[in-house]
Amino acid sequence: MIKTRVQELLHIRMPIIQGGLAYLARASLAAQVSIAGALGQITATTLDTQEDLRREIRQLREITDKPFGVNFAMGHRPIDDLLEVALEERVPAISLTGGNPKPYAPRIVNQGIPLIVLTAGVRAAKNAEQLGASIVVAVGVEGGGHLGRDDTSTMVLTRRVVQSVQIPVVASGGIADGQGLVAALALGAEGIEMGTRFVATVECPAHPSYKERLVGTQENETRIIEKSIGLPGRVLPSPYVDTILAHEPASSLEELLPYISGDKNQRAALEGLWDQGFAWGGQATGLIEDIPSVQELMNRIEKQAEETFRRLNISWLDS
Ligand SMILES: Cc1cc2nc3c(=O)[nH]c(=O)nc-3n(C[C@H](O)[C@H](O)[C@H](O)COP(=O)(O)O)c2cc1C
Nearest to 298 by CA among 17, 65, 38: 38
Residues 158 and 233 in one domain: no
Radius of gyration of the chain (CA): 18
Question: Does the Cβ of 235 fall within 6 Å of ligand 1?
Answer: no
Residues 81 and 20 in one domain: yes
- Going from the Cα of 282 to the center of ligand 1, the distance in angstroms, rounded, reads 8
Q: Is residue 134 a part of any domain in this protein?
A: yes
Q: Per the structure, how many domains does the chain have?
A: 2
pLDDT in tens, 127-162: 999 999 999 999 999 999 999 999 999 999 999 999
Residues 12 and 43 in one domain: yes
pLDDT (0 to 100) of residue 315: 63
Residues 129 and 246 in one domain: no
Residues 123 and 242 in one domain: no
Residues 126 and 181 in one domain: yes
Question: Does the Cβ of 108 fall within 6 Å of ligand 1?
Answer: no
Q: How far apart are CA 278 and CA 280, in angstroms?
A: 7
Q: Is residue 214 a part of any domain in this protein?
A: no
- Going from the Cα of 315 to the center of ligand 1, the distance in angstroms, rounded, reads 37
Ligand 1, atom 10, lies closest to the CA of: 20
pLDDT in tens, 108-127: 999 999 999 999 999 999 99
Q: Provide the residue range defining the domain that includes 46.
A: 5-203+290-312
Q: Is residue 274 a part of any domain in this protein?
A: yes
Residue type for position 91: V
Report yes or no: 203 and 184 within 8 Å, Cβ to Cβ.
no
Mean pLDDT, rounded, of the chain: 97
Residue 225 has pLDDT above 70, yes or no: yes
Question: Does the Cβ of 142 fall within 6 Å of ligand 1?
Answer: yes
With cut-offs at 50, 70 and 90, classify the pLDDT of residue 319.
low
Q: Is residue 191 a part of any domain in this protein?
A: yes
CATH number at residue 144: 3.20.20.70
Ligand 1, atom 15, lies closest to the CA of: 145
Residue 316 has pLDDT above 70, yes or no: no
Strand partners, 91: none
Q: Is residue 304 a part of any domain in this protein?
A: yes
Residues 136 and 242 in one domain: no
Strand 233-235 relative to strand 145-146: parallel, antiparallel, unpaired? antiparallel
Q: How far apart are CA 50 and CA 149, in angstroms?
A: 31
Residues 141 and 253 in one domain: no
Question: Does the Cβ of 189 fall within 6 Å of ligand 1?
Answer: no
With cut-offs at 50, 70 and 90, classify the pLDDT of residue 43.
very high
Residues 160 and 229 in one domain: no
Asked if the bond preceding 249 is cis, omega within 30° of 0, the reply is yes
Residues 87 and 167 in one domain: yes
- Going from the Cα of 316 to the center of ligand 1, the distance in angstroms, rounded, reads 35
Question: Does the Cβ of 232 fall within 6 Å of ligand 1?
Answer: no
Helices (H) and strands (E) in the chain, counts: 14, 11
Phi then psi for 101, rounded to 5 degrees?
Answer: -75, 0
Q: Is residue 215 a part of any domain in this protein?
A: no
Ligand 1, atom 12, lies closest to the CA of: 20
Strand 192-194 relative to strand 233-235: parallel, antiparallel, unpaired? unpaired
Q: Is residue 212 a part of any domain in this protein?
A: no
pTM above 0.95, yes or no: yes
Residues 197 and 231 in one domain: no
State mean pLDDT over 103-108. 98
Atom of ligand 1 at shortest range from CA of 206: 1
With cut-offs at 50, 70 and 90, classify the pLDDT of residue 76.
confident
Q: Is residue 317 a part of any domain in this protein?
A: no
Residues 117 and 153 in one domain: yes
State mean pLDDT over 294-315. 93
H or E element in which residue 267 lies = helix 262-269
State mean pLDDT over 182-204. 98
